[in-house]
């Protein structure tokens, strides 16, 4: 789109029905900031396979009440087509602590109700997993959560869920996208809400949700014995502020120490650079509090409380942060071990992980006689697998390397609330053996082998950044590495083309997962490098995974250091720093 077209699009926003503040801000862009004008009006904010996510501001390429309204009208149109015979179509809406989240949730509720759809709107901020739970509990046909998850404060988003409580997947995702694209003018949106179709919900759903979580406990006897272990928790200014401490209390933990400065819900996230528990800086205050209180465990949730960061105490009293692969492995190992001890494993159970998540989870699952399925990156595919096998096999747990975990199937998205409670339970179970989570992780390595992973994310913002990311993916496709870390690449998996190539024989097989812009290179020694653009951030991500067994007489720390050095060598070799 050339600059003239951009200006014409912007000028339409200088007149009604756009509100006065919007018109004023657009005029300021036209007169003073041509670069931002182009970024704001160069295109329509894409309604992707999960919904909307973008920088907040005026314009067709920004998150604002108008883009939210247009997306919701398209959703309404699809709901009516998909459920023509239902006497009442229902939708649930939740929102996080981000700036404008409350407003965007209200706009969505107004548009849904204006279209005759029954809306259950949470009365204040709530975690994303509780929205999934509410959809199922209230027998809704869809749900919305206003959040940009762990993105920086400038962002907000709009995620769509279906009647099973999982994020939308084919065929609904593409069909909803088409309906949203058909809303080409703001005049096509019915903003005149009908209050009789809107019901506020709150504590009653919280109580059902928390009681359901507590019923999943696997070691209540150890929690009772070690209920006073000190646990530091921070919601990083997000929705976990009430539910996570309440969930820990429901499980029986009595010594939860919160980071008070970060218990204030604030979309500016004033105490962190980014509200992402994957980043060590976001957990600094919690780690400082842990040192001051000699805590056993550190937990941090992102703004919508679907991801959790975990810190554990190691010998000599210092703390280390588990990465998402390590945390998922510990959690799933504990759950499977307890299921085994309780004689609950019959051979008809399964766990799920994503293709970029550690293969250690598969090794653990197989060790307990449990199937492990792999799905594309994104927890919605884990939810899809649960739905696919519902009534056929029993889902136990799932995990992804990006700090998302799920135990049980009453929620169909990653759930940091139950995950926090379960990590605390693992700590109590370990303490009953005079051990720590650190010791449990080492036991896993000794039993199943050493697996070590590292993620490199390269940020490339704006229109130029998107083009650069696309160019990088094309370069890896056209000129794939022949060796990685001194080991020959034996297989190239291209999920965009849905092919797996054996580089030794040249034979090609079809991949039976949906198309996705992901490349994987697997070497003879088991090293795996995955490359993909992020679906939610302006980033390209490189996942480097290596594995090995302990040499005779070698201690774990030395072996881990050896794998860390190998990862660093691969990063340098591929020039992805």
pLDDT of residue 577: 79
pLDDT of residue 49: 74
Assess whether the previous peptide bond of 455 is cis (omega < 30° from 0): no
Measure the CA–CA gap between 160 and 173, rounded to whole angstroms.
Answer: 9
pLDDT of residue 550: 81
Ramachandran region of residue 94, left (φ > 0), alpha (ψ -120 to 50) or beta? beta
Ramachandran region of residue 287, left (φ > 0), alpha (ψ -120 to 50) or beta? alpha
Measure the CA–CA gap between 520 and 497, rounded to whole angstroms.
Answer: 12
Positions in the chain whose pLDDT score sits under 70: none
Q: How many CB atoms lie within 10 A of CB 288?
A: 13
Backbone angles phi, psi at 4, to 5 degrees: -65, -45
Spatial contact of 335 and 327, defined as CB atoms under 8 Å apart: no
Measure the CA–CA gap between 313 and 255, rounded to whole angstroms.
Answer: 16
- Output the CA–CA distances (angstroms, integers) from residue 540 to 198, 276, 350, 519, 522, in the order listed: 41, 17, 31, 12, 19
**What is the secondary structure of 399-415 as a DSSP string?**
EETTTEEEESSSS-S--
pLDDT of residue 555: 85
Structure tokens at 207: 């109580």
User: What DSSP designation does 316 have?
Assistant: G
> What is the number of helices (H) and of strands (E) in the chain?
18, 23
pLDDT tens-digit map of 461-476 = 888 888 999 999 999 9
* Domains with residue ranges and CATH for the chain: 43-201 (3.40.120.10), 209-448 (3.40.120.10), 452-574 (3.30.310)
Measure the CA–CA gap between 39 and 6, rounded to whole angstroms.
Answer: 9
3-state helix, strand, coil in the chain (%, to 5): 40, 20, 35
Structure tokens at 24: 């004023």
pLDDT of residue 461: 85
Active-site amino acid positions: 149
pLDDT of residue 317: 80
- 281 three-state secondary structure: helix
């Amino acid at each position: 789109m050339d600059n003239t077209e951009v200006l014409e699009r912007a000028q339409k926003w200088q007149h009604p029905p756009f509100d006065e503040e919007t018109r004023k801000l657009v005029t300021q862009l036209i007169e003073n900031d041509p670069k931002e004008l182009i970024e704001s009006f160069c295109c329509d904010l894409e309604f992707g396979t999960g919904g909307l996510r973008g920088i907040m501001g005026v314009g067709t390429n920004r998150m604002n009440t108008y883009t939210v309204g247009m997306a919701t009208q398209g959703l309404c149109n699809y709901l009516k087509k998909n459920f023509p015979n239902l006497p009442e179509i229902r939708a649930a809406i939740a929102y996080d602590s981000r700036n404008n989240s409350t407003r965007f949730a209200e706009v969505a509720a107004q548009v849904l109700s204006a279209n005759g759809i029954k809306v259950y709107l949470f009365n204040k901020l709530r975690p994303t997993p509780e929205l999934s739970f509410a959809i199922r509990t209230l027998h809704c046909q869809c749900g919305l959560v206003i959040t940009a998850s762990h993105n920086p404060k400038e962002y907000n988003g709009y995620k769509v869920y279906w009647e099973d409580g999982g994020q939308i997947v084919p065929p609904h995702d593409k069909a909803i996208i088409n309906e949203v694209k058909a809303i080409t003018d703001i005049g096509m949106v019915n903003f005149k809400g009908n209050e009789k179709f809107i019901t506020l919900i709150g504590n009653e759903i919280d109580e059902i949700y928390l009681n359901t979580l507590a019923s999943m406990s696997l070691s209540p006897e150890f929690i009772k014995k070690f209920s006073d272990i000190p646990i530091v928790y921070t919601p990083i200014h997000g929705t976990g502020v009430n539910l996570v401490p309440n969930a820990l209390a429901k499980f029986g933990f009595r010594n939860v120490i919160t980071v008070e400065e970060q218990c204030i819900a604030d979309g500016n996230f004033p105490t962190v650079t980014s509200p992402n528990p994957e980043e060590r800086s976001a957990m600094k205050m919690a780690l400082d509090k842990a040192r001051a209180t000699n805590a056993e465990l550190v937990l941090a949730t992102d703004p919508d409380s679907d991801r959790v960061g975990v810190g554990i105490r190691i010998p000599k009293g210092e703390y280390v942060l588990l990465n998402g692969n390590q945390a998922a492995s510990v959690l799933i190992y504990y759950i499977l071990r307890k299921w085994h001890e309780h004689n609950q494993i019959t051979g008809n159970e399964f766990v799920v992980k994503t293709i970029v998540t550690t293969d250690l989870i598969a090794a653990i699952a197989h060790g307990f006689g449990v199937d492990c399925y792999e799905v594309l990156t994104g927890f919605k595919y884990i939810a899809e697998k649960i739905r696919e096998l519902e009534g056929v096999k029993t889902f136990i747990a799932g995990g992804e390397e990006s700090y998302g975990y799920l135990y049980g199937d009453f929620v169909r998205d990653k759930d940091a609330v139950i995950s926090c409670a379960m990590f605390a339970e693992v700590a109590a179970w370990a303490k009953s053996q005079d051990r720590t989570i650190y010791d449990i992780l080492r036991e896993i390595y000794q039993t199943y082998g050493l697996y070590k992973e590292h993620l490199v994310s390269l940020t490339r913002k704006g229109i130029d950044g998107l083009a650069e990311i696309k160019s990088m993916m094309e370069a890896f496709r056209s000129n794939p590495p022949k060796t990685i870390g001194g080991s020959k690449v034996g297989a190239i998996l291209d999920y965009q083309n849905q092919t797996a190539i054996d580089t030794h024989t040249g034979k090609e097989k079809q991949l039976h997962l949906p198309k996705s812009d992901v490349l994987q290179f697997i070497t003879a020694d088991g090293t795996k490098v995955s490359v993909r653009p992020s679906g939610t951030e302006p980033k390209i991500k490189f996942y480097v995974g290596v594995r090995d067994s302990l040499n005779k007489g070698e201690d774990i720390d030395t072996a881990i250091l050896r794998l860390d050095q190998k990862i660093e060598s691969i990063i340098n070799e591929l020039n992805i720093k």
